[in-house]
Structure 1
Amino acid sequence: MKNLYSNTKKTLKLIYDLEKKNLIVILLLSLLVSVVPLLTTYLSQELLNSIVAHQVLNRVMVLLIAFVSFTVGSEIVGQISAIFEQKLQVNLVYKLNKIIMNACGDMKLKDFENSETYNQIERINGQIAFKPSQSLDMTINLMKTMITLIGSIIFLSMWSWKMALLLTLVPLTSIYYYIQIGKREFNIQYQRMEDERESWYLNYILTHDFSFKEVKFYDLKEYIINKFSRIKENFIKQDMDLLYQKSKLSILFEVGVQIIGAIVLFVAITAAYSGTILVGNVVSIIKVTSMIQSSSKGVMTSIYALYNNNLYMEKLFEFIEEFVQIENEEVLITDNAEITDIHDIELKKVSYHYPETQSLALKKVDLTLHAGERVAIVGPNGSGKSTLIKVLTKLYENSEGEILVDGVPLREIGETKYKQQLSVLFQDFVKYELPLQENIGFGDIQNISDTEIMKTCMRELNIDFLDEEDLNQQLGIWFENGRQLSGGQWQKVALARSFFKKASVYILDEPSSALDPISEKEVFDSFYEKTKGKIGIFISHRILAAQNADKIIVMDKGEIVDIGTHAHLMKNCRLYQEMERAESYEEYFAA
């Protein structure tokens, strides 16, 4: 109960911070609505007793008008409250989604390379549309039912405190069991999140175009559906077991409440026959007993749902505390911290290892890059090429050693200022199912409206398969009137995105992996032209593409094996020679 109170308090504070006015109005209206049943019960009792006692008609009419006014007023206030509740829920979901999206945007690459992070995000996103507002609803319902319950008990205690105490016996003993079931339900939901993501992914494989050809060709449909079914059938079994437990507890609760209610009514009716109480009091006792029964059930239901929801809210708070933060850039207060162009980048003994591993992905890398150089990075798979790029672009942090930018340590330069001078094409570039203008403009979001530069980039890369005069054309097939592209065409669009930005350093990771030889030549011609007087870096698995670079870096097992021109490496680097021979054999057999 202490944990329940703590999380409820934090939930209300979160909602108060996001939707202050709506929350205050809802709480005030809810408080007003919660006392109406007690007032109407009292008025009906007095009205009936006045009629039986043949009191003055004016008094009877006043009581009747008051009774009707409170009843009608309660309905009106309830409808007004429902409007504010709906408004709060819509705004709350929108603002919380923005918070989560903003937090995900501020995460580090290492966070997204951790499966637990995905699980955490899925737990939050999967239920953010209703859990927080549901927690508020349950809190308000608990408040209203508690007020009604306490008021009803006090009302009944004025006749018999023993009967009032007897009616609270079943609800009090049921709280523990409801909370235990709620805890078990949450734990099941929490523990199966990994399986939930897998079932979602299996569904995604069969319902999207990216996998259709392989699923169809290899006849994977039955296997995937069977795997999906095994996961979902286990979920159904778990859910039904919980449902049976809740149903049994609800039946026991209902039977116990009704038996005790019948005892109270029997005592009240007996008292009326003996003349101890009036008929109007008996009616009010019947009504109050019913209110205590329904309120008790409401309290149990609210506590159960609130406890279950608050376990979710606890995970939301943990996520917010871990990832939702304003990160201040570390800026050295000197003229050196201001960079408008990058002329040199120097790596000194730079090493990096992935979280949860001890082996180094980069091992004491020493490297200097100068403006005007086109640098190729080659090496076998897993040699550390992409890791080097991720460290260089600050996607990976906490690397050992030092990186200097024009002589200034990178850690003393603001991350935003540094990245403004870089433009990168990643190997696993994104195929945005969005209009062409956004697909290219995302390379430099500040200048996304500069359509002339976009068109120039398209012409430089010979993107003649798209109409440069129609930058609003939809790419991909997820949305209406979308244009499907081949892998090579998508890669050219991604290249245009990286070339769209005016930068000091251009980095391309396998820029021609999906291109034909003619397109590959066009891309590298554009790259060499674009990087005149700049630092140009590209990763390639093809020696043919690398041999024209001013400097070729050969990597293996996280280390730089050799650096030099193509001629130098062909004479002095065994690994480079082996790669060149393998490529020659490949081209020979392909021919």
Structure 2
Amino acid sequence: MQVSCLNRLHYFPDKKTLFYLWKKDKRLIVYPLLKAVFASLISYFMLFFLDGLIGGRNILLIPSIFSILMLNVFVILIMHKSENLDFLLRLSFFRELSGKRIELVNEPSSWRKSQAIMDWQMHNGGPAINAYRLLEKRLTLLSSLLIAICYILFSSEIHHAFYLLLLVAFSLLLSFVFYKTEKNVSITLEKGIESLMENNRKGDYYFALLSSEFEKMKSIRSNNKNSFVEGKYSSFMNPMMRLFKKEEYEKTLIGLFEALSAILLVILFLALSSTSYSLTLCLSLMSLVLFFTSLFRGRSEVEINNERMRVYLEFLDLEKKKGKIEKGGKGIRLENVSYIYPGAENKAVDDVTFEFKRGRIYSIVGPNGSGKSTLVKLMLSLLSPCEGRIIAEEGLSFSYCPQSVTIFSFTLGENVAMKKGYDGNKVRSLLSSLDINEDTELKLGSDYESVGIELSGGQSQRVQIARSVFSSGSVLIMDEPTSRLDVKAEKRVYEEALRVKPGDTAVFISHRLSSSFYSDEIIVMDRGKIAASGSHEALYSSCALYREMFDEQKNQSGL
């Protein structure tokens, strides 16, 4: 009943948080309880046993010492076996959070919540570990209070019940005043901390621009605009740091006034009762006053942490939104598939029905913005169709070369294989076929520790193509794979990409029609719809859009 009331006062972490800790590791609940019992026995020893030496209660000596010693040994053993519960919980929380972030990495709606939780983790260990600390602190304080109350109730020295009740009432009043004051400070402080952490991310971004993101900074450096980014990096945090210091100072002052108020209340009680009391009774009264003055004061901290824990548990319950891909048949079949981007007026893909058969080579062509890349993202389950359905053969695996080129700060071989212990001969052979003859152990890109070579745009694109071919999925999808390559290099890319295993499928997306010569079937898209499909010869004679695009490119680049 008492614990239930304290929960309603937000004295303890809420039930969901406690259940999370219990499920994570029962010791996270048991250990704070043991520490609280240990603290209560220490208080018991100090108040009853020490007072017994001067008041004739020596009979309490043996059970007091025995209980304290046995519990002390037990707690030490638990501490030894716990292997630092604080650290284990922090590690578990980090793994759990990191795993969920990776699972939801393609869900933009979860990014902000995900980053906020990561910020909390970096700031104070996260809501889970903070709940564990709060539970430990609150239980210890409560246990000491219970012993103090027992001593006061059974003490023969208390003759002024009215003054004692008055003392408690004033303590509660002060606690409420401190709570209201601290709540405003805490809310402002927490907002400041969150802004500070958000600015920290901006600072990391600015520093990355200045230090390692050479590719992004080329145009800025060439125009001598470095000072603009440097100014952003050097000044972004100063206002937040001032706010942080100010609010922390106010919070410290509140705590100081609380302690002074407790001392003054006890002195006032002793003065009004006009009776001399023992030191142990004074200590008991001090424990009583400190508990009640802190009863409301710590509430804002618990409320904030409970809310953060609620957000975290909701985040853990989120599930990755998977595309509506059903299993069955052979190859991939799209039936009346449509997709519209949030906020857009027109559908990016509009009522598309098509079947990609096993063992065939396809090209998806069309003007910019015709829906080619969106169609592929739907096939890859990176987007979920708004209408229609996609049916894919059981066990299909995809190798995807996206439109944007990404080179990681790894070795050349690791950039292709994306794993350790790769087949070096296979990687070298693949790179050589794409006219890249560099050492596979060569470091690429730049990070905070080392600087590697910088590839040209065409080389970077070929490395990314090699990465998708190396992964050997049963469906190879390449989105604008040759946009940075000359005609000779483009031919090599298609020849290498077409060395697919019998039964595998390849899909090329391009507004350049050179891929058409390597394809069994060409899909022409226009305004989100499939305008026509067929072989090059059939489309050139029957599809005006395809013929117009082909003739234009033939005149420009000599297809």
TM-score by length of 1: 0.77
The aligned counterpart of 2:267 is 262
d(CA) in 2 for partners of 1:512 and 1:251?
A: 68
1:28 aligned onto 2:34: yes
1:140 aligned onto 2:136: yes
Structure 1 pair 5/475, CA: closer, same or farther in 2 (3 Å)?
A: farther
Give SS of 1:323's match. Answer: coil
Aligned runs of 1:420-499 on 2, under 5 Å?
420=397, 422-428=398-404, 430-434=406-410, 438-442=414-418, 453-467=426-440, 475-478=444-447, 483-486=452-455, 487-499=457-469
The aligned counterpart of 2:18 is 12
Aligned runs of 1:359-378 on 2, under 5 Å?
359-378=346-365
CA contact (8 A) 1:374 1:531 kept: no
d(CA) in 2 for partners of 1:484 and 1:500?
A: 22
1:174 aligned onto 2:178: yes
d(CA) in 1 for partners of 2:219 and 2:437?
A: 29
Structure 1 pair 485/84, CA: closer, same or farther in 2 (3 Å)?
A: farther
Give SS of 2:318's match. Answer: helix
CA displacement, residues 518-571 of structure 1 (integer Å, 9 cap, x when unaligned): 433221110122366532111123233444433332323212233344455555
1:204 aligned onto 2:208: yes
d(CA) in 2 for partners of 1:220 and 1:381?
A: 32
Structure 1 pair 127/190, CA: closer, same or farther in 2 (3 Å)?
A: closer
Structure 1 pair 200/20, CA: closer, same or farther in 2 (3 Å)?
A: same
Aligned runs of 1:106-505 on 2, under 5 Å?
106-107=103-104, 109=106, 111-112=107-108, 114=109, 117-129=110-122, 130-131=125-126, 132-157=128-153, 158=155, 159=158, 160-165=160-165, 166-167=167-168, 168-169=171-172, 170-186=174-190, 197-210=201-214, 211-227=216-232, 232-236=237-241, 238-239=243-244, 242-243=247-248, 245-247=250-252, 249-267=254-272, 270-272=274-276, 282-296=278-292, 299=295, 302-323=298-319, 337=328, 342=330, 344-357=331-344, 359-403=346-390, 409-410=391-392, 417-418=395-396, 420=397, 422-428=398-404, 430-434=406-410, 438-442=414-418, 453-467=426-440, 475-478=444-447, 483-486=452-455, 487-505=457-475
The one-letter code sitting in structure 2 at the alignment partner of 1:493 is V
CA displacement, residues 11-43 of structure 1 (integer Å, 9 cap, x when unaligned): 222122222245423432343234312321322
d(CA) in 2 for partners of 1:582 and 1:118?
A: 43
CA contact (8 A) 2:358 2:505 kept: yes
CA contact (8 A) 1:378 1:553 kept: yes
Gapped regions of structure 1 (runs ≥ 5): 273-280, 404-408
d(CA) in 2 for partners of 1:265 and 1:66?
A: 32
Q: 2:508 aligns with which of 527, 535, 538?
A: 538
Q: 2:45 aligns with which of 25, 31, 39?
A: 39
Deviates more, 1:129-138 or 1:93-102: 93-102
Deviates more, 1:291-300 or 1:314-323: 291-300
d(CA) in 1 for partners of 2:320 and 2:63?
A: 52
d(CA) in 2 for partners of 1:506 and 1:368?
A: 15
Give SS of 1:153's match. Answer: helix
Give SS of 1:427's match. Answer: coil
The one-letter code sitting in structure 1 at the alignment partner of 2:131 is S
1:251 CA drift (Å): 4.9
d(CA) in 2 for partners of 1:581 and 1:256?
A: 89
d(CA) in 2 for partners of 1:379 and 1:315?
A: 44
Structure 1 pair 175/105, CA: closer, same or farther in 2 (3 Å)?
A: same
d(CA) in 2 for partners of 1:76 and 1:206?
A: 56
Structure 1 pair 531/230, CA: closer, same or farther in 2 (3 Å)?
A: same
* Paired positions, count: 539
d(CA) in 2 for partners of 1:8 and 1:315?
A: 13
d(CA) in 2 for partners of 1:475 and 1:313?
A: 41
The aligned counterpart of 1:275 is none
1:256 CA drift (Å): 2.7
The one-letter code sitting in structure 1 at the alignment partner of 2:219 is E
d(CA) in 2 for partners of 1:80 and 1:381?
A: 69
Structure 1 pair 77/195, CA: closer, same or farther in 2 (3 Å)?
A: same
d(CA) in 2 for partners of 1:400 and 1:202?
A: 41
CA contact (8 A) 2:12 2:138 kept: no
Give SS of 1:364's match. Answer: strand
Give SS of 2:14's match. Answer: helix
The aligned counterpart of 1:88 is 85
Give SS of 2:84's match. Answer: helix
Deviates more, 1:160-169 or 1:78-87: 78-87
CA contact (8 A) 1:377 1:552 kept: yes
Structure 1 pair 5/519, CA: closer, same or farther in 2 (3 Å)?
A: farther
d(CA) in 2 for partners of 1:488 and 1:140?
A: 59
Structure 1 pair 300/37, CA: closer, same or farther in 2 (3 Å)?
A: farther
CA RMSD of aligned residues (A): 4.1
Structure 1 pair 529/391, CA: closer, same or farther in 2 (3 Å)?
A: same
d(CA) in 1 for partners of 2:15 and 2:413?
A: 46
CA displacement, residues 91-147 of structure 1 (integer Å, 9 cap, x when unaligned): 2222222222332333373x23x4xx2211111112225122122101110111122
d(CA) in 2 for partners of 1:122 and 1:485?
A: 31
The one-letter code sitting in structure 2 at the alignment partner of 1:122 is Q
Gapped regions of structure 2 (runs ≥ 5): 1-6
d(CA) in 1 for partners of 2:139 and 2:112?
A: 33
Structure 1 pair 194/284, CA: closer, same or farther in 2 (3 Å)?
A: closer
CA contact (8 A) 2:39 2:143 kept: no
Deviates more, 1:15-24 or 1:66-75: 66-75
The one-letter code sitting in structure 1 at the alignment partner of 2:302 is L
d(CA) in 1 for partners of 2:503 and 2:199?
A: 52
